[in-house]
Protein backbone atom coordinates (compact mmCIF):
# COMPACT_ATOMS: atom_id res chain seq x y z
CA UNK A 1 0.00 0.00 0.00
CA UNK A 2 1.43 3.38 -1.00
CA UNK A 3 1.40 6.43 1.26
CA UNK A 4 -1.63 8.01 -0.43
CA UNK A 5 -3.71 4.84 -0.12
CA UNK A 6 -2.68 4.45 3.51
CA UNK A 7 -3.63 8.04 4.29
CA UNK A 8 -6.98 7.58 2.54
CA UNK A 9 -7.59 4.50 4.70
CA UNK A 10 -6.97 6.50 7.89
CA UNK A 11 -9.50 9.18 6.94
CA UNK A 12 -11.94 6.52 5.82
CA UNK A 13 -11.90 4.92 9.28
CA UNK A 14 -12.53 8.23 11.04
CA UNK A 15 -15.31 8.95 8.54
CA UNK A 16 -17.09 5.82 9.77
CA UNK A 17 -17.84 7.66 13.00
CA UNK A 18 -18.90 10.80 11.14
CA UNK A 19 -21.22 8.76 8.93
CA UNK A 20 -22.72 6.96 11.92
CA UNK A 21 -23.70 10.20 13.68
CA UNK A 22 -24.91 11.95 10.52
CA UNK A 23 -28.55 11.50 11.47
CA UNK A 24 -30.76 13.49 13.88
CA UNK A 25 -32.28 10.31 15.31
CA UNK A 26 -28.90 8.65 15.84
CA UNK A 27 -27.65 11.75 17.65
CA UNK A 28 -30.70 11.62 19.88
CA UNK A 29 -30.02 7.95 20.54
CA UNK A 30 -26.54 8.87 21.78
CA UNK A 31 -28.01 11.51 24.08
CA UNK A 32 -30.56 9.09 25.53
CA UNK A 33 -28.04 6.27 25.91
CA UNK A 34 -25.69 8.65 27.73
CA UNK A 35 -28.22 8.42 30.57
CA UNK A 36 -27.84 4.64 30.83
CA UNK A 37 -28.57 1.41 29.01
CA UNK A 38 -32.02 0.89 27.47
CA UNK A 39 -33.86 -1.71 25.46
CA UNK A 40 -34.71 -1.23 21.80
CA UNK A 41 -38.35 -0.87 22.80
CA UNK A 42 -37.56 1.88 25.31
CA UNK A 43 -35.45 3.73 22.78
CA UNK A 44 -38.12 3.50 20.10
CA UNK A 45 -40.64 4.94 22.56
CA UNK A 46 -38.26 7.76 23.60
CA UNK A 47 -37.72 8.79 19.97
CA UNK A 48 -41.32 8.23 18.86
CA UNK A 49 -40.27 5.85 16.08
CA UNK A 50 -41.09 2.22 15.39
CA UNK A 51 -38.90 -0.60 16.69
CA UNK A 52 -37.69 -1.59 13.22
CA UNK A 53 -36.36 1.90 12.51
CA UNK A 54 -34.79 2.16 15.97
CA UNK A 55 -33.03 -1.16 15.39
CA UNK A 56 -31.70 0.04 12.03
CA UNK A 57 -30.27 3.22 13.58
CA UNK A 58 -28.70 1.24 16.42
CA UNK A 59 -27.15 -1.15 13.92
CA UNK A 60 -25.40 1.80 12.23
CA UNK A 61 -24.08 3.04 15.56
CA UNK A 62 -22.93 -0.43 16.52
CA UNK A 63 -21.09 -0.86 13.20
CA UNK A 64 -19.03 2.21 14.11
CA UNK A 65 -18.45 0.77 17.61
CA UNK A 66 -20.23 3.69 19.28
CA UNK A 67 -22.68 1.42 21.08
CA UNK A 68 -22.67 -2.15 22.34
CA UNK A 69 -25.55 -4.53 22.95
CA UNK A 70 -26.43 -7.53 25.07
CA UNK A 71 -29.41 -9.83 25.22
CA UNK A 72 -31.59 -9.83 28.36
CA UNK A 73 -34.25 -12.47 27.92
CA UNK A 74 -36.42 -11.47 24.97
CA UNK A 75 -34.98 -7.97 24.86
CA UNK A 76 -31.83 -6.48 23.34
CA UNK A 77 -30.25 -3.86 25.58
CA UNK A 78 -27.97 -1.13 24.23
CA UNK A 79 -25.44 1.13 25.91
CA UNK A 80 -22.70 3.53 24.82
CA UNK A 81 -19.34 1.87 24.25
CA UNK A 82 -17.67 4.43 26.54
CA UNK A 83 -17.94 7.81 28.22
CA UNK A 84 -15.98 9.29 25.32
CA UNK A 85 -19.02 8.70 23.09
CA UNK A 86 -21.13 10.85 25.43
CA UNK A 87 -18.43 13.51 25.27
CA UNK A 88 -18.46 13.29 21.46
CA UNK A 89 -22.15 14.19 21.49
CA UNK A 90 -21.56 17.14 23.85
CA UNK A 91 -18.63 18.48 21.80
CA UNK A 92 -20.47 18.12 18.51
CA UNK A 93 -23.49 19.97 19.93
CA UNK A 94 -21.29 22.73 21.35
CA UNK A 95 -19.54 23.26 18.00
CA UNK A 96 -22.95 23.44 16.31
CA UNK A 97 -24.17 26.01 18.87
CA UNK A 98 -21.05 28.10 18.33
CA UNK A 99 -21.24 28.18 14.54
CA UNK A 100 -24.90 27.73 13.59
CA UNK A 101 -27.08 30.76 14.13
CA UNK A 102 -30.14 28.66 13.32
CA UNK A 103 -29.44 26.39 16.28
CA UNK A 104 -28.96 29.28 18.68
CA UNK A 105 -32.22 30.85 17.55
CA UNK A 106 -34.02 27.52 17.96
CA UNK A 107 -32.69 27.18 21.51
CA UNK A 108 -33.82 30.70 22.35
CA UNK A 109 -37.31 29.87 21.11
CA UNK A 110 -37.38 26.66 23.11
CA UNK A 111 -36.96 28.44 26.44
CA UNK A 112 -37.60 32.04 27.37
CA UNK A 113 -34.20 32.53 29.03
CA UNK A 114 -31.79 29.68 28.27
CA UNK A 115 -29.14 29.36 30.94
CA UNK A 116 -25.55 28.72 29.90
CA UNK A 117 -23.46 28.11 33.00
CA UNK A 118 -19.70 28.53 32.94
CA UNK A 119 -17.50 25.98 34.73
CA UNK A 120 -17.05 28.49 37.57
CA UNK A 121 -20.81 28.89 37.84
CA UNK A 122 -21.16 25.11 37.96
CA UNK A 123 -18.74 24.91 40.86
CA UNK A 124 -20.61 27.74 42.56
CA UNK A 125 -23.81 25.79 42.10
CA UNK A 126 -22.20 22.81 43.84
CA UNK A 127 -21.20 24.94 46.81
CA UNK A 128 -24.66 26.49 47.15
CA UNK A 129 -26.27 23.05 46.96
CA UNK A 130 -23.84 21.68 49.54
CA UNK A 131 -24.71 24.50 51.92
CA UNK A 132 -28.42 23.90 51.37
CA UNK A 133 -29.00 27.35 49.89
CA UNK A 134 -30.62 25.83 46.81
CA UNK A 135 -32.33 22.54 46.05
CA UNK A 136 -31.22 20.71 42.91
CA UNK A 137 -33.71 18.24 41.49
CA UNK A 138 -33.14 15.64 38.78
CA UNK A 139 -36.40 15.18 36.86
CA UNK A 140 -35.23 12.26 34.70
CA UNK A 141 -36.59 8.73 35.30
CA UNK A 142 -35.23 7.18 38.50
CA UNK A 143 -32.99 4.56 36.78
CA UNK A 144 -31.13 7.36 34.99
CA UNK A 145 -30.62 9.20 38.27
CA UNK A 146 -29.37 6.01 39.93
CA UNK A 147 -26.76 5.47 37.22
CA UNK A 148 -25.29 8.98 37.49
CA UNK A 149 -26.43 12.33 38.81
CA UNK A 150 -25.11 15.70 39.93
CA UNK A 151 -23.84 15.87 43.52
CA UNK A 152 -26.48 16.89 46.11
CA UNK A 153 -29.29 16.41 43.56
CA UNK A 154 -32.57 14.84 44.61
CA UNK A 155 -34.37 12.40 42.35
CA UNK A 156 -37.79 13.83 41.55
CA UNK A 157 -38.98 12.40 38.21
CA UNK A 158 -41.27 14.65 36.22
CA UNK A 159 -44.02 12.02 36.44
CA UNK A 160 -43.91 12.27 40.27
CA UNK A 161 -43.44 16.00 40.65
CA UNK A 162 -47.08 16.95 41.20
CA UNK A 163 -47.55 14.37 43.96
CA UNK A 164 -44.23 15.22 45.65
CA UNK A 165 -44.16 19.00 45.37
CA UNK A 166 -44.84 19.35 49.10
CA UNK A 167 -41.30 17.99 49.68
CA UNK A 168 -39.89 21.22 48.22
CA UNK A 169 -39.86 24.13 50.69
CA UNK A 170 -41.34 27.40 49.48
CA UNK A 171 -38.50 29.50 50.88
CA UNK A 172 -35.74 27.81 48.87
CA UNK A 173 -34.65 28.33 45.27
CA UNK A 174 -35.06 25.20 43.12
CA UNK A 175 -32.81 24.25 40.20
CA UNK A 176 -34.09 21.51 37.88
CA UNK A 177 -32.11 19.61 35.27
CA UNK A 178 -32.67 16.64 32.97
CA UNK A 179 -30.62 15.29 30.03
CA UNK A 180 -29.10 18.51 28.71
CA UNK A 181 -30.11 21.67 26.86
CA UNK A 182 -32.22 19.85 24.26
CA UNK A 183 -34.26 18.03 26.91
CA UNK A 184 -37.70 19.46 27.71
CA UNK A 185 -38.45 17.62 30.96
CA UNK A 186 -36.81 20.33 33.07
CA UNK A 187 -38.74 23.05 31.22
CA UNK A 188 -42.00 21.29 32.04
CA UNK A 189 -40.90 20.95 35.66
CA UNK A 190 -40.06 24.65 35.94
CA UNK A 191 -43.44 25.63 34.51
CA UNK A 192 -45.19 23.38 37.01
CA UNK A 193 -43.11 24.60 39.96
CA UNK A 194 -43.64 28.27 39.15
CA UNK A 195 -47.34 27.59 38.82
CA UNK A 196 -47.26 26.30 42.40
CA UNK A 197 -45.49 29.41 43.66
CA UNK A 198 -41.95 28.05 43.81
CA UNK A 199 -38.84 29.97 42.77
CA UNK A 200 -37.35 27.71 40.11
CA UNK A 201 -35.12 27.78 37.06
CA UNK A 202 -33.50 25.32 34.71
CA UNK A 203 -29.92 24.13 34.63
CA UNK A 204 -29.16 23.42 30.98
CA UNK A 205 -26.53 20.83 31.92
CA UNK A 206 -27.09 17.12 32.08
CA UNK A 207 -24.67 14.50 33.35
CA UNK A 208 -22.83 14.44 30.00
CA UNK A 209 -22.12 18.17 30.20
CA UNK A 210 -20.97 17.77 33.80
CA UNK A 211 -18.65 14.95 32.73
CA UNK A 212 -17.30 17.04 29.85
CA UNK A 213 -16.51 19.86 32.30
CA UNK A 214 -14.47 17.48 34.46
CA UNK A 215 -16.81 17.83 37.43
CA UNK A 216 -17.81 15.02 39.79
CA UNK A 217 -20.88 12.83 39.44
CA UNK A 218 -22.51 10.52 41.94
CA UNK A 219 -24.24 7.16 41.53
CA UNK A 220 -26.67 5.11 43.59
CA UNK A 221 -26.73 2.18 41.17
CA UNK A 222 -25.58 -0.82 43.21
CA UNK A 223 -25.23 -2.95 40.05
CA UNK A 224 -22.27 -0.90 38.84
CA UNK A 225 -18.80 -2.14 39.64
Mean pLDDT of the chain: 93
Q: Does the pLDDT value for residue 17 go beyond 70? A: yes
- Identify the pLDDT of residue 174: 95
pLDDT tens-digit series, residues 185-216? 999 999 999 999 999 999 999 999 999 999 99
**What percent of the chain has a predicted confidence (pLDDT) above 90?**
87
For residue 223, what pLDDT band results from cuts at 50, 70 and 90? Answer: low
**What integer is the mean pLDDT of 132-156?**
97
- Identify the pLDDT of residue 116: 52
Q: Does the pLDDT value for residue 62 go beyond 70? A: yes
DSSP state, residue 218:
B
Domains, the chain, with CATH or none: 3-86 (1.10.10.10), 109-212 (3.40.250.10)
DSSP lists the bridge partners of residue 78 as 38, 69
**CA-atom Rg of the chain in angstroms:** 19
Q: Is 183 a catalytic residue?
A: no
- Identify the pLDDT of residue 200: 93
Q: Does the pLDDT value for residue 224 go beyond 90? A: no
Active-site residue among 43, 178, 185, 207?
178
- Identify the pLDDT of residue 180: 94
- Identify the pLDDT of residue 107: 84
- Identify the pLDDT of residue 108: 81
How many C-beta atoms surround the C-beta of residue 33 within 10 A? 23
The closest alpha carbon to 80, from 130, 31, 135, 7, belongs to 31
**What percent of the chain has a predicted confidence (pLDDT) above 70?**
94
For residue 110, what pLDDT band results from cuts at 50, 70 and 90? Answer: confident
Q: Does the pLDDT value for residue 183 go beyond 70? A: yes
The Cα-based distances of 214 to 87, 122, 144 in angstroms read 11, 11, 19
Q: Does the pLDDT value for residue 9 go beyond 70? A: yes
The pTM of this model reads 0.90
How many C-beta atoms surround the C-beta of residue 193 within 10 A? 20
Amino acid sequence: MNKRSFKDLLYEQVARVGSAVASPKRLELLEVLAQGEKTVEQLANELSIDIKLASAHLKRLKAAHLVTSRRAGKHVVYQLSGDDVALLWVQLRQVAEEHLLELRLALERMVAAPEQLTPMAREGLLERAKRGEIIVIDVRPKPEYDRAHLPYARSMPLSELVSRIAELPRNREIVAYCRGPFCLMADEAIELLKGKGRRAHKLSDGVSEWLAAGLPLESTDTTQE
